[in-house]
Structure 1
């Protein structure tokens, strides 16, 4: 990726609804080469899709929870089953494989504290192989970036 590709990717992260004309102006290209570069970035998987950023509270999920999971065992079957089940749960927005004392860190949304309790009891506890669950509730957001750094 050259500097123009990085500029294009950054501008689209900031505003995925830019017209090709607006994007071309922002990155100092003419529209045709700009569109060609965007299509190449899409084809190479650098740009994986476009989405809207929605207020989670407005959609009924005012609570953000960070959940740390440690598995009892780390055999292939246990890990694969845990990860397969996590991918299918809509309330889990992110799940990272971690180093340290816990194996996974998940960002979960909930409608209420009671809803989160039901989620843990009825969904997470049904996943085999979990050794421990540690929960932290976010009570504010200081920064929530959507775009990767522009430095190339």
Structure 2
């Protein structure tokens, strides 16, 4: 069964708290998580591994300041694609340098892609030569990001 086919699993309050803590600090130790949710280290370890195995936790990553990392141009790119081409288009988009978020959506366009590049010239090159040449892509529209703020998932 693929990740897309896995049935959702209800989380109990302890699992929800573990997820919240790891969203806030993915580098938190098992010991600190266990203390925070008032379970043994073995229980916390088992729960975290189960959350990973069940696909609830998909991985751990750092939040990046793209501008400070030398990626000064960010953009949301909307794409209209040929019907039934999502899987093949997605595979190509996932390979793009600087692509950080990809979603199949409803509305006036089909796909929303977030990319970060060194500058506008690199962004232009990415859109005009890479994205628009992908089979199944009918059209694109680029929305430049002037300022962005990461929302803290623990505040929600």
- Which TM-score band applies after superposition, normalised by the shorter structure? 0.7 to 0.9
- 1:49 corresponds in structure 2 to 59
Tell me the distance in 2 between the aligned counterparts of 1:116 and 1:79.
22
Please, what is the CA RMSD of the aligned residues? Answer: 1.8
2:76 to 63, 66, 76: 66
1:108 to 112, 115, 119: 115
Asked whether 1:13 is paired with 2:11, we answer no
Tell me the distance in 2 between the aligned counterparts of 1:80 and 1:48.
20
User: Quick check: 2:18–2:33 contact (8 Å CA) kept in 1?
Assistant: yes
5+ unaligned residues in a row in structure 2: which ranges? 1-10
Tell me the distance in 2 between the aligned counterparts of 1:93 and 1:54.
11
Structure 2 CA distance for partners of 1:11 and 1:126, relative to 1, 3 Å: same
TM-score, normalising length: structure 1: 0.85
Structure 2 CA distance for partners of 1:84 and 1:134, relative to 1, 3 Å: same
User: Quick check: 2:75–2:143 contact (8 Å CA) kept in 1?
Assistant: yes
Tell me the distance in 2 between the aligned counterparts of 1:148 and 1:128.
39
Asked whether 1:37 is paired with 2:77, we answer no
- 2:151 corresponds in structure 1 to 145
- 1:88 corresponds in structure 2 to 95
The Cα offsets for residues 19-40 of structure 1, whole Å up to 9 and x where unpaired, read as 1111112112232222221122
Tell me the distance in 2 between the aligned counterparts of 1:6 and 1:138.
33
RCO higher in structure (CA 8 A, sep ≥6): 1
TM-score, normalising length: structure 2: 0.83
CA shift for structure 1 position 148: 6.5
1:24 to 34, 37, 61: 34
Partner SS, residue 139 of structure 2 = strand
Aligned residues: 146
Runs of 4+ in 1 over 3 A off after TM superposition: none
